[in-house]
Amino acid sequence: MTAIYRTAACVLVLLCIGAAGYGQDFSRREEIAIFRLSYYGQPVFSPPAGVEVRIVGRRGSLTVSVRGTGNPQYDQLFERAFGAVDEQIRSVFINLGRFSVIGMDQRLTQDSVSDFISVLSDYQFEQQDLPDAVLLGQQAFTEADFRALSGGFIVVIPSVSWYDLRRLEDGRFRADIEASFTFVDVQNRETFSQFFVSTSGVSANASEAVRDAVDSIAPELSFRVRAMDRFRIRTGILDVDGRDVIIEFGRNMGLRPGEEYAIVADRVLPNGRIVTAETGLVVVREVQNDVSYARVLYARPGARVGDQLREVPRRGVEAQLYFDLMTDGVTSLAYLIGLRAVPSRGFFAGRPYAAFEIPIRSGQPTGGLPMNVVIGGEWNLLVGRIRLTPSGGIGLGGGIAPGDDQPRFYASHIGAIARMTGSLLVTRDILVSVQTGYGLWADLTGRDDSYGGLIVGAAVIFK
């Protein structure tokens, strides 16, 4: 009889686990076709405001906006710089790991999207014969192109909606770019999302300013795609081991250390409506091919096998605003107001950092803005909501002095800093911390202006 009870208990446990796992929702790899970036309209002359070209065809009319700076030299810089943008955009989707990507050779503008969907619908659902080539905007599509997209693809149409390059009063160049990204569900024949990415670059060289603006597109695009609800990773807890959990997916879906996933659960309201609530948070610490290991930061009532997880998209850099007091207890006293940037996506325990701080102290040279620039590393020990972080760095101190033409930086100190920080996760996105340590800034000017000592301070950390 005892054996029967034991067998029944095992069957009941397996049924419970199976039921929990059955309720989990897992993401799947999306098939995406990415068109080339369109930037029609770089004028070879200086238009008064803008030029519009109207194309009339059997399916209706199409208006293409011609935009640019009006300066032929600047617009040529733009066209040359954008030669590598297509690969950058495709690399973003490939490196995210959650997509199967194919590249299209055509370029489509925003105005051509509706015509593209209409023609694709005629071919896919009405089985209409197509001519040898279909002209959409300034691009020709063959039947083979539409056949390649006739499955369950999502089509991504990137386009430059604004570009400007101008010289500033101080002689430097500023480039501003706004790119739109339109997402089309081929199977449902609809545009389900569109967003704009605006970037800028400033440099003494015009081509470098444009390049800086172009290079800033990729990281912002990566965040915006991960933040889309349709592309946000949905996974679940497969096993629990103390403070760690094993979750479905690893490198096969592009998971990276440092990424965070919320534990979510459905709740039925008295009126019968179902809402989803976050009950916990985990952070990925190790990624394998098919599974990943994550540390539980908090969970109510606790992390369990079968819990649903949903990606918490972040830009990948923590911003730490801190205020420190540094003193040797005798003659040296300095207040440090700083901002520390720490990359989080791709890192777990060990992470590099860079900091910019303004020292305020008695006896420091007057004139200009004093500043210290510090680079270093930290190691994080996570225990629930508590984070213990020893860190160290080296830096260069000085300031920005006003000049005749433009401000210039001068170096006056070299320093080293060691800290121990204790942080508490007060919300999903914010930590508060206290820190202590020791720092020393040695004078380089021969004025015997070194300072340093014991550090005590506090910080607010935004994920």
Within-domain flag for 153: yes
Residue where one domain finishes, among candidates 312, 333, 355:
312
Whether residue 415 is found in the same domain as residue 274: no
The pLDDT, as a whole number, for residue 278 is: 92
Query: What's the CATH code of the domain at 410?
Result: 2.40.160.20
pLDDT tens-digit map of 338-362: 999 999 999 999 999 999 999 998 7
In this structure, the answer to whether residues 217 and 72 fall within a common structural domain is: yes
Report the b/e string of 268-292 with b at 16+ CB within 10 A: eeeeeeeeeeebbbbbbeebeeebb
Report if residue 322 sits inside a domain.
Answer: yes
Tell me the pLDDT tens digit for each residue of 395-454.
999 888 776 566 677 888 999 999 999 999 999 999 999 999 999 999 998 887 889 999
In a domain, 101, yes or no: yes
Domain limits for position 354: 317-462
- The domain tally of the chain equals 3
Q: Same structural domain for residues 171 and 246? A: no
Is the distance from CB of 77 to CB of 164 less than 8 angstroms? no
Residue 195, φ and ψ in degrees, nearest 5 = -145, 165
What SS3 state is found at 327?
strand
Out of 227, 255, 284, pick the residue that ends a domain: 227
Q: For position 151, what pLDDT does the model report? A: 57
Report, in angstroms and rounded to the nearest whole number, the Rg of the chain calculated over CA atoms: 28
Please check whether residues 38 and 81 belong to one and the same domain.
yes
What whole-number distance in Å separates Cα of residue 38 and Cα of residue 72? 18
Same domain, 251 and 393: no
CATH of the domain at 169: 3.40.50
Inside any domain, residue 11: no
> What is the domain-level CATH number for residue 281?
2.40.10.410
* Whole-number percent of the chain with pLDDT over 70: 73
Residue numbers in the chain where pLDDT is lower than 50: 1-22, 41-67, 130-138, 140
The pLDDT score that the predictor gives to residue 15 is: 43
CA-to-CA distance for 282 and 34, rounded, in angstroms? Answer: 33
In a domain, 22, yes or no: no
Residue ranges of E strands in 187-316: 190-203, 234-241, 244-248, 260-268, 274-287, 291-299, 308-312
Do 327 and 216 share a structural domain? no
Same domain, 366 and 241: no
Q: Looking at the domain assignment, is residue 19 inside a domain? A: no
Q: Are residues 416 and 440 in the same domain?
A: yes
Residues 385 and 306 in one domain: no
Q: What was the pLDDT predicted at 12? A: 44
430 and 392 part of one domain: yes
**Are residues 421 and 342 both part of a single domain?**
yes
pTM reported for the whole predicted model = 0.80
Q: What is the pLDDT of residue 42?
A: 45
Q: Is 276 found in the same domain as 352?
A: no
